[in-house]
């Protein structure tokens, strides 16, 4: 199976380990990724904060490129990117005048034929049963706290994925692979997202609560499907520990890391050795 | 002196594409907001101000820059008001009219540096963004510890393959520039 792939800026930058992990994991499952040619940034928080027109136009250009290249499915492993793409798609679907205006702005027609999906959706399309059958390692030692954060499920009417308050898709997948996900409270609370540079205090406080709650419920690792969540919980973990005077030592995996390990891939192939917090 | 501002409830509604007049002040948005404890005015209070036409007071609030855009308010609103969208509209207007409180300039500077970066490169060049943001923020608040912070992060990122000194650029950067020009908002008094 070949699907379109929108990496987004993070996966080609500070979250290069996430791209390694996604490519390796999906590759082992027979899913190859065709990168969208000459994709541009989705605009992220900066665009929707400062320029609502640009916040539609930047994702719209990418949707138009996908259509031009005949990509029906477009995987955006970053939930910020996938949410912005879906939001622009829905705004144009609701407003034909906006669709015409955007086609002029981005210099390409946009019919609205692209289906944007996240990593979890692609794994479910492969099928839980097939992944479990292909697995070579049972994830029995893993007690993950599955962390969805914000934009995998919110806003619910744009994303239309899982349950915005009580999502279970990651737990169900990892349970099928032998892991023992824990029940905990912060599964859909925000880690501070893209405020890491601009408002670090908020990020450290919110992420500290997430790490603490996961540990209090017996988790021995966190699992995320978002590059920003990973930056805040993994890369900033040492800063969090300094600020709050306590050690978390919590491994933070991408979902594709754990699925990849179950499929028999090694840590280096999945980029796990590139994380900041590593198992001692 | 500056012209009186033409800021109305309808203007915010049209920017946010939502009927904020539907809000009946249940407070669910504020109850679930992870940034509420850092806000001078709560999300439902900001909406109330806009309902009453006191838009300028909402635009001057620190709260709109403390928002982390997590979409919890929007997802939970029983009246389907896009509260996060309203805060986006308020941020855009506050930036356009130069009403951002000094204590929140770092956040504004970051978002502007991010957009400038995409405009130049088509995609985010992270190292360049950090450099521009830190320089501009420092010139604004002369906070040396914040300028120097993370200086030792670069080698750690490089070692992990997470930092690209020459990031990939978009081939058709001219079209990106044209898209930005066509989306340019009228500005007055941008700091």
Q: What backbone phi and psi angles, to 5 degrees, belong to A251?
A: -65, 140
Q: Residue B189 — pLDDT band, cuts 50, 70, 90?
A: very low
Q: Residue A8 — pLDDT band, cuts 50, 70, 90?
A: very high
Measure CB to CB from residue B180 to each of A46, A54, A104 and give the nearest one: A54
- Count the neighbouring beta carbons within 10 Å of the beta carbon of residue A139: 20
Average pLDDT, chain B: 90
CA distance B177 to B135: 24
Q: Which two tokens stand for residue B117?
A: 């970066």
Calculate the alpha carbon distances from B30 to A141, A163, A193, B11, B36 in Å: 39, 21, 19, 23, 6
Q: Which residues in chain A are closer than 8 Å to B111, comparing Cβ atoms? A: 45-46, 49-50, 198
User: Residue A117 is inside which H or E element, if any?
Assistant: strand A115-117
What ipTM was estimated for this complex? 0.94
Scanning A132-191 for CB atoms below 8 A from B yields: 150-151, 153-156, 164, 188-190
Sign of dihedral through CA atoms A113, A71, A12, A103?
A: negative
Closest chain B residue to the Cα of A209, Cα to Cα = B34
CA distance B169 to A178: 42
pLDDT tens digit sequence for A180-237: 999 999 999 999 988 888 889 999 999 999 999 999 999 999 999 999 999 999 999 9
CA distance B7 to B189: 15
Check residue B160 and report its DSSP letter. T
Could you tell me if A72 lies within 8 Å of chain B, comparing CB atoms? no
pLDDT tens digit sequence for B18-38: 999 999 999 999 999 999 999
pLDDT value at residue B3: 52
Q: Which two tokens stand for residue A42?
A: 């989705």
pLDDT value at residue B190: 42
Q: What share of chain A is helix, strand, coil (3-state, %, to 5)?
A: 50, 10, 40
pLDDT tens digit sequence for A39-60: 999 999 999 999 999 999 999 9
Could you tell me if B143 lies within 8 Å of chain A, comparing CB atoms? no
CA distance B65 to A186: 23
Q: Please, are residues A182 and A221 in contact by the beta-carbon 8 Å criterion?
A: no
Q: Residue A154 — pLDDT band, cuts 50, 70, 90?
A: very high
The CATH number that domain B9-96 falls under is: 1.10.1060.10
Q: Which residues in chain A are closer than 8 Å to B112, comparing Cβ atoms? A: 46, 50
Q: Do B183 and A189 touch (CB under 8 A)?
A: no
- Count the neighbouring beta carbons within 10 Å of the beta carbon of residue A179: 24
Measure CB to CB from residue A41 to each of B124, B133, B157 and give the nearest one: B124
Measure CB to CB from residue B72 to each of A10, A44, A154 and give the nearest one: A154
Q: What backbone phi and psi angles, to 5 degrees, belong to A252?
A: -125, 110
Q: Please, are residues A120 and A163 in contact by the beta-carbon 8 Å criterion?
A: no
CA distance to partner chain A, nearest, from residue B11 (Å): 13
- Domain spans of chain B, in order of start: 9-96, 102-182
For chains A and B, count residue pairs whose Cβ atoms are closer than 8 Å. 158
For residue B102, give the nearest of B75, B140, B131 by alpha carbon.
B140
Mean pLDDT of the region A153-160: 93
Question: What share of chain A in percent tops pLDDT 90?
Answer: 96
Question: What share of chain B in percent tops pLDDT 70?
Answer: 94
Q: Is the pLDDT of residue B12 over 60?
A: yes
Q: Could you give the domains of chain A?
A: 2-119 (1.20.1050.140), 134-262 (3.40.50.11810)
């Amino acid at each position: 199976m070949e699907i379109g792939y929108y990496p987004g800026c993070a996966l080609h930058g500070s979250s290069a380990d996430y791209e390694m992990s996604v490519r390796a994991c999906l590759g082992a499952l027979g899913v190859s990724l065709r990168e969208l040619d000459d994709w541009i940034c989705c605009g992220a928080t900066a665009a929707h904060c400062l320029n609502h027109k640009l916040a539609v136009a930047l994702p719209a250009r990418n949707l138009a490129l996908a259509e031009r290249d005949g990509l029906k499915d477009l995987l955006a492993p970053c939930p910020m990117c996938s949410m912005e793409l879906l939001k622009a798609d829905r705004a144009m679907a609701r407003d034909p005048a906006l669709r015409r205006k955007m086609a002029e702005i981005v210099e390409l027609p946009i019919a609205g034929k692209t289906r944007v999906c996240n990593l979890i959706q692609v794994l479910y399309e492969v099928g839980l049963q097939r992944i479990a059958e292909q697995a070579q390692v049972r994830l029995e030692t893993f007690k993950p706290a599955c962390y969805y954060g914000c934009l995998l499920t919110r806003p619910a009417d744009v994303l239309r994925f899982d349950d915005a308050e009580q999502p279970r898709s990651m737990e169900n997948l990892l349970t099928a692979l032998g892991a023992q996900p824990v029940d905990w409270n912060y599964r859909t609370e925000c880690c501070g997202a893209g405020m890491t540079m601009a408002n670090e205090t908020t990020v450290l406080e919110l992420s500290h609560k997430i790490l603490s709650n996961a540990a209090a419920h017996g988790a021995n690792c966190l699992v995320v499907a978002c590059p920003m969540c990973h930056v805040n919980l993994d890369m900033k973990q040492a800063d969090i520990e300094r600020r709050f005077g306590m050690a978390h030592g919590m491994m933070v995996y991408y979902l594709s890391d754990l699925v990849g390990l179950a499929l028999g891939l090694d840590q280096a192939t999945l980029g796990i050795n590139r994380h900041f917090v590593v198992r001692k | 002196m500056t012209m009186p501002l033409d800021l109305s409830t309808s203007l915010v509604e049209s920017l946010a594409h939502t009927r904020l007049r539907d809000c009946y002040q249940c407070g669910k948005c504020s109850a679930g907001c992870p940034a509420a404890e850092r806000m001078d005015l709560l999300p439902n209070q900001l909406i109330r101000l806009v309902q009453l036409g006191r838009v300028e007071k909402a635009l001057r609030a620190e709260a709109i820059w403390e928002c982390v855009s997590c979409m919890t308010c929007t997802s939970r609103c029983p009246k389907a008001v896009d509260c996060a969208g309203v805060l986006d509209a308020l941020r855009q207007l506050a930036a356009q009219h130069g009403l951002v409180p000094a204590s929140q300039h770092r956040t504004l500077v970051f978002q502007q540096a991010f957009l400038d970066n995409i405009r130049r490169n088509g995609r985010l060049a992270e190292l360049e963004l950090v450099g521009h943001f830190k320089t501009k923020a420092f010139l604004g608040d002369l906070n040396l510890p914040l300028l120097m912070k993370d200086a030792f992060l670069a080698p750690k990122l490089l070692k992990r393959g997470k930092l690209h000194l020459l990031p990939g650029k978009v081939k058709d950067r001219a079209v990106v520039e044209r898209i930005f020009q066509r989306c340019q908002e009228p500005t007055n008094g941008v700091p």
